Every structure is written in structure tokens, then in C-alpha cells.
């Protein structure tokens, strides 16, 4: 890992933060990207040699491109990109959902992820070295009520990842889609607009995955020998499963 330069989005909390820690512990140089500066600086303090921070909003494409183009060596040439930034906003039925929530999910989960990927790919291909690890979700495969746009955005990530594999065939650039189920993080709090009581109920009597579980999974995929590509990796807590169809019946 010592010669790896790893960019991680959504690095201030949850999976992103755990990924930064896991790669830094293993000796990689890590660029931690997120909006919350104080959280990023804490990470940089933990790993002063290895972690640099980039305070940014990944949905602000123009500013993001500018900041990335100003990065100093060796952080300007990523060998690993962990596209982790993502969120679910709302859990309403489609017909009751807010347009702004849908837009924000598409901006963050889809547009910013393809923007960063588009930014790093030419360099990775030129150097013939790289690994893009996307954070998809089980919601990209199994639909659930209230998760329509979130799930669709993650289905995009899955298909985009597989499509990249096609285009990168013959290059030493790997692409992996990690698809976690429920993870104990800020995910539910963000989904419910900061309502931590409602978010806590999601995890009541239930043992979710931890951010460290997923960071370990991401790390394992990246640390495998260079000729091995994990295409997709789905991981759920033992206490979660996709349990089939729900039927509606009219009152007889």
C-alpha cells in the first residue's frame, strides 16, 4: 500500500472515514475529501504523514475540478479512487416524495460519482494503473418501498461499474462495486433530515454492519494481487435479507 495514493470522497464520517483510516494504517497516502473541515482535520491529525484533506462539495463540479487540478505531488495522481460520497434523502412513497430530494440524490449518488471517475480515468489509463471502488448498495439490486430513486441511483452505479470494466479491458485499471446493506452510520439520520430518534429506530433490536466492516471489504478488494478484479461484492448484516414480494389485497 505504501506506493498507493487513494482518494476517498465522503471522508468525514461513516464508511468514508473508516476507509481513510484503514488505508492510512496500511501505509497508503490518502486524500480525504468532504465538506466538513473539522472532521477532516481530525483525520489528518491522526495520520499527519499520510492524510491530506480537501474540503469540497463533490456536487459542485466546477470548484471540484479546480481544487483537484491544484493538488500537489504525490496526491495529484490517484492510484485508487473510492467513490463513497452518497446519501438517501427521504423514505416517502414516490407519489409523496419531494422533487428536491430526488434531485439531490441524483446529483450526489450519480453525477458527482461519474464526474470524479471521468476526471481520474485518463491519468489512470495513461499510467496503466488504477482501481476505482464505487460504493453501491443492496438497494441497487433489491427494491424496497420508499427507496425508488435511491435504489435507482445505486443501480446506475452498479451498471456504470460493469460498463467501465468493459471499456477498461486490456488496461491495468480495476473497477469494483461494493454493495452494502444496512450500515450503522449517519445514513439514517441524513435520510430523516437529522431526526436522530427516527434514525435510531432503524437499528433498534438489530445488528447492522459497521463502517469498519465495509472499510475492511474495500481494503481487501484493493489489496488483492493486481491481476484480480472483484466486479461486485454484496454484503449484508446476518439480520437483514431481501424477503420477497409484498401483496396488496382489496377488502373482500
Confirm or reject binding of residue 139 to ligand 8X3 (CB under 6 A): yes
Report the nearest approach of ligand 8X3 to the CB of residue 182 (Å).
4
Q: Nearest to ligand 8X3 by Cβ — which residue?
A: 137
Report the nearest approach of ligand 8X3 to the CB of residue 90 (Å).
13
Confirm or reject binding of residue 199 to ligand 8X3 (CB under 6 A): no
Rank residues 135 and 168 by Cβ distance to ligand 8X3 and give the closer one. 135
Rank residues 78 and 86 by Cβ distance to ligand 8X3 and give the closer one. 86
Catalytic residue among 119, 142, 144, 150: 150
Confirm or reject binding of residue 211 to ligand 8X3 (CB under 6 A): no
Q: Is 203 an annotated catalytic residue?
A: no
Give the integer Cα–Cα distance in Å for 119 and 97: 32
Calculate the CA 58 to chain-centre distance.
12
Confirm or reject binding of residue 153 to ligand 8X3 (CB under 6 A): no
Rank residues 117 and 137 by Cβ distance to ligand 8X3 and give the closer one. 137
Confirm or reject binding of residue 137 to ligand 8X3 (CB under 6 A): yes
Residues that bind ligand 8X3 (CB under 6 A): 137-139, 180-182
Amino acid at each position: 500500500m505504501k506506493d498507493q495514493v487513494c482518494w476517498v470522497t465522503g471522508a468525514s464520517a461513516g464508511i468514508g472515514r473508516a476507509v481513510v483510516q484503514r488505508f492510512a494504517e496500511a501505509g497508503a497516502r490518502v486524500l480525504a475529501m468532504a465538506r466538513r473541515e473539522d472532521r477532516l482535520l481530525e483525520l489528518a491529525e491522526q495520520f499527519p504523514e499520510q492524510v491530506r484533506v480537501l474540503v469540497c462539495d463533490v456536487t459542485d463540479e466546477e470548484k471540484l475540478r479546480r481544487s483537484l487540478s491544484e493538488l500537489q505531488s504525490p496526491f495529484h495522481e490517484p492510484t485508487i479512487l473510492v467513490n463513497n460520497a452518497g446519501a438517501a434523502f427521504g423514505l416517502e412513497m414516490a407519489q409523496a416524495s419531494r422533487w428536491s430530494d430526488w434531485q439531490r440524490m441524483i446529483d450526489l449518488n450519480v453525477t458527482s460519482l461519474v464526474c470524479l471517475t471521468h476526471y481520474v480515468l485518463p491519468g489512470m489509463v495513461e499510467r496503466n494503473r488504477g482501481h476505482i471502488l464505487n460504493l453501491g448498495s443492496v438497494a441497487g439490486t433489491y427494491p424496497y418501498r420508499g427507496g425508488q430513486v435511491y435504489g435507482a441511483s445505486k443501480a446506475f452505479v452498479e451498471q456504470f461499474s460493469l460498463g467501465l470494466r468493459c471499456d477498461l479491458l486490456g488496461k491495468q485499471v480495476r473497477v469494483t462495486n461494493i454493495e452494502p446493506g444496512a450500515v450503522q452510520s449517519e445514513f439514517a439520520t441524513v435520510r430523516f433530515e437529522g431526526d436522530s430518534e427516527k434514525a435510531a429506530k432503524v437499528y433498534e433490536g438489530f445488528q447492522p454492519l459497521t463502517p469498519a466492516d465495509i472499510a475492511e471489504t474495500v481494503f481487501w478488494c484493493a489489496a488483492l494481487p493486481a491481476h484480480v478484479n472483484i466486479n461486485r461484492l454484496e454484503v449484508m448484516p446476518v439480520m437483514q435479507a431481501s424477503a420477497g414480494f409484498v401483496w396488496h389485497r382489496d377488502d373482500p
